[in-house]
Amino acid sequence: MIKLSSTSVALESTVITHGLPRPQNLTLARDMERVVRENGATPATIAILDGQIRVGLTDAELERLANETNVRKISRRDFATAIVKKECGGTTVAGTMFAAHRAGIRVFATGGIGGVHEVETLDISTDLQALADTPMIVVCAGAKAILNLPATLEYLETMAVPVIGYRTDEFPAFYSRQSGLPVSARLDSPEEVVRFAKAHWELGMKSAVLVCQPLPPEDEIPAEKINGFIEQARREASEGGIHGQPLTPFLLARLAELTGGESLRANLALLLNNAKLAAQIACALSLLEKQKAI
């Protein structure tokens, strides 16, 4: 078993099993853990192996997960399925929050959250519901413009989820640093984030604090460039009748093809950037609690 600590940072695994191609998925999984450690915190990658919920994986288990072909995408409704069928699975943002919160972890790093899809039928990611009812700090790079971003932000507001711009006033759009949409508050340091989260939860709020950090400027793909590809990928999904759980993985893979790997590079860069910030936040949170205990 991997030991948990007061500076544990949860890491999701759908990005490993469904979000990134091989072999970059395994490299990324290892790099995320390394960056968390280099910044003084303790990584815990969350997944399901042979029907068991695992909070923290060994390196051999990470490797197995990254190369597993029969692997389920695990959101909150899917845990019992994977358990009774003794399957392996990569946990989404919602799935990871569920298992991490249960294990007492308060900080989580991911790339982009799921949200409200731009499709004919209703498709709202469970990630939004998990953010509504799980008190954790979730670090992301906003949400991809494959989603309806204004509707996603409206939903988060309805569900009482503070959307924090980390050193920005705008909600970042994953590949782009800006979306033209405002956040609910701006904060500029890990300590400010921790004080904010404490204030939120001390009021009795049960929702997450969503910390949105724009990707590094050098990795940004201009909105004019990526938006055309996003439109194309969405159209192809609609024409191919792709909806439900496979929709997000399809759109991500298609974008990587259409951009000749540029979207993949941006994705990797922002994931590592988020792991670093989450580690700094976990350390600040642990320090604040130690000071309060004295």
Binding residue (CB under 6 A) for ligand PSU from 7, 126, 134, 286 = 126
Q: Give the DSSP H/E element, type plus range, for residue 229.
A: helix 223-239
What's the token pair of residue 290?
């130690």
Q: Does 23 sit behind a cis peptide bond, omega within 30 degrees of 0 on the bond before it?
A: yes
Return the number of other C-beta atoms located less than 10 Å from residue 281's C-beta. Answer: 30
Contact predicate 279/41, CB 8 Å: yes
Kindly tell me the sign of the dihedral angle through the C-alpha atoms of 239, 243, 247, 250: negative
Return the number of other C-beta atoms located less than 10 Å from residue 196's C-beta. Answer: 17
What residues from 156 to 185 belong to the interface with ligand PSU (CB under 6 A)? 174
Closer Cβ to Mn ion, 8 or 126, answer by number: 126
Binding residue (CB under 6 A) for ligand PSU from 7, 10, 12, 194 = 12
- Amino acid, single-letter form, for residue 275: A
Closer Cβ to ligand PSU, 15 or 164, answer by number: 15
From the list Mn ion, ligand PSU, none, which binds 126 (C-beta under 5 to 8 Å, kind-based)? ligand PSU
Helices (H) and strands (E) in the chain, counts: 11, 10
Q: Per CB under 6 A, does 139 bind ligand PSU?
A: no
Residue owning tokens 């949200």: 115
Q: Per CB under 6 A, does 134 bind ligand PSU?
A: no
Closer Cβ to Mn ion, 78 or 123, answer by number: 123
Instruction: Name the one range near ligand PSU by CB under 6 A: 46-54, 122-130, 197-205, 286-294.
Output: 122-130
Q: Per CB under 5 A, does 33 bind Mn ion?
A: no
- CB 162 to ligand PSU: min, Å: 19
Beta bridge partners of 11: 45, 109
Contact predicate 193/164, CB 8 Å: yes
How far apart (Å, rounded) are the C-alpha atoms in residues 94 and 91? 8
- CB 234 to ligand PSU: min, Å: 13
Contact predicate 194/284, CB 8 Å: yes
**Catalytic positions, please?**
12, 144
Contact pattern from residue 100 through residue 129 relative to Mn ion, giving x for each residue in contact according to CB under 5 A and a dash for the rest:
-----------------------x------
Q: Per CB under 6 A, does 219 bind ligand PSU?
A: no
Binding residue (CB under 6 A) for ligand PSU from 35, 82, 93, 145 = 93
Contacts with ligand PSU by CB under 6 A lie at: 12, 14-15, 19, 75, 92-93, 111-112, 114, 125-127, 144, 174, 245, 248, 252
Contacts with Mn ion by CB under 5 A lie at: 123
